[in-house]
Amino acid sequence: MAGVTTVTAVVLCGGAGTRFGGDKTRAAFGPTTVLDHLVRGLPPTWTVVCVGEPRELSRPVRWCREEPPGGGPVAALAAALVHVGDPVVVALGGDMPYAAGPAPALVAQLAGQPDVDAVVGRDAGGRLQPLLAAYRADALRDAVPDPPQGAPLMRVLDRLRTAVVPLEAPGTLDVDTPADLEDARHRLDP
């Protein structure tokens, strides 16, 4: 990946999971959890920062928490960026167990487009996925509003030069409801 030396994956896993009925990132997923399945699939050379309540995972990660807890995804990104020293950040939703699959391709796309600040995935339904995206860390820091609590994530995207990449399931699957979890489980490798 020309032009990219190191990457930090920032995984947001501190949401309340109201539609799910609890913390969806802790839901059983094969022999592990939704969050651990995502994290273990990321390239081993990437640093991983998880924003949420600390827990045991199958690989080392750095934990932090947005202020106040529950302050939203922009506040979570702001909390994580304090711990990022790499030039590229891959932002991922902790409820997306297969997002590690397309993540390296997003980084490669960003490396190949020096005139953009972010490469953002678009799911099959046409929705932008700012939590399935690669960002230039400095541009992302500049785009996060102050204060970040409660700010819409799309406001951050509006402040960046972005390229959009269409992505397919299962990489774009997120677990918002128990039915989503069952759908994602059916895609697990046998």
Our CA angle for 30, 31, 37, nearest 5°, is: 70
Predicted pLDDT of residue 177? 87
186 Cβ neighbours under 8 A, 6+ residues apart: none
Class of domain 7-185: alpha beta
pLDDT of residue 35: 97
Tell me, what DSSP letter sits at residue 87? S
Tokens in use for 148?
């970040």
Domain boundaries, the chain: 7-185
pLDDT attached to residue 190 = 42
CB of 56 within 8 A of CB of 40?
no
The pLDDT, as a whole number, for residue 5 is: 63
In 3D, which of 183, 120, 188, 117 has the Cα closest to residue 154? 120
- Tell me the helix, strand and coil percentages in the chain, rounded to 5: 25, 25, 50
Name residues of the chain where pLDDT drops below 70: 1-5, 16-18, 21, 189-190
Residue-level pLDDT at 17: 66
Q: What is the pLDDT of residue 189?
A: 58
Which pLDDT belongs to residue 108? 96
What local confidence, expressed as pLDDT, does residue 176 receive? Answer: 87
